[in-house]
Amino acid sequence: MSGAGGIDALDAALAGHGLCLRGWVFPDITTVAMASGGDALAICLVGHTGGGFWPVFEAWWEKHPGIADPLDTWSKTVITPLAKAAGGEAVFPSDRPWQPFQQWAMAAEGLKPSPLGMLIHPDFGLWHGYRGAILFGPEALARLKGEIAAIEETTVGPDVPHPCDACADKPCLSACPVNAFGPAGLDVLSCRAWLKTEPGRKGCRTSGCLARDACPVERGHRYDDAQIQFHMTAYS
């Protein structure tokens, strides 16, 4: 175990909020262009697998009614001080310029995109996400050297199984009422137009994206209805 300010302490503090360290990227000469975090030498992804953070967030939101961008604000409130205590700097998926969270996740966790654009996880299916990332520079790395070295040794490579390879029928692709998924990815305009119609409001907007819901992988980690409705409202 490390002392306060170490990686173990960071992980434990995140767990108290229903979040976790998702994985690490160590930019080298080929990947450093992915990091717009200046001299960041290690990027630690923070997120959730399944919807475990939701009750923690909801309890916070009840105490902050009317707050703008509640989930993004909660994420910043939780992650920023923890990143600082660990000697890093937090960045967030919702902030512009957008940081390449999905590229980081592919590098850190070996995940690959589903036909829907979202990355699919072999243990959590389409039910996971990213709430922030912590960028560590040379000074923090020197202090955390032992822990980081151990993490680097265990960081996953590109050999994580990709669930879509074994999914012959690909039910996600036939479930969308407006066929919004094509070779160019999600047709956002068609999707949003559908969500404004009466059947779209009663369907996807209330019960969640039918394409995402059609995926049979790890459905036990599906978010609960309140969380799904929150994300769909934010998106549409």
Does residue number 129 form part of the binding site for ligand B12 (CB under 6 A)? yes
Return the residue of 81, 138, 161, 185 that touches ligand B12, per CB under 6 A: 185
CB of 113 to ligand SF4, least distance (A): 9
Return the closest-CA partner of residue 194 out of 181, 208, 178.
178
CB of 1 to ligand B12, least distance (A): 30
Q: How many CB atoms lie within 10 A of CB 15?
A: 13
What is the rounded (10 degree) CA torsion for 169, 175, 177, 182? -50
- Return the amino acid letter for 51: G
- What phi-psi label fits residue 176: left (phi over 0), alpha (psi between -120 and 50 degrees) or beta? beta
Return the closest-CA partner of residue 48 out of 95, 103, 93, 7.
93
Does residue number 167 form part of the binding site for ligand SF4 (CB under 6 A)? yes
Contacts to ligand B12 from residues 90-109, by CB under 6 A: 93, 98-103
Return the residue of 26, 53, 74, 130 that touches ligand B12, per CB under 6 A: 130
CB of 111 to ligand SF4, least distance (A): 12
Q: Footprint of ligand B12 on this chain (CB under 6 A)?
A: 93, 98-103, 117-119, 128-130, 185-186, 188, 191, 209, 212, 231-232, 235
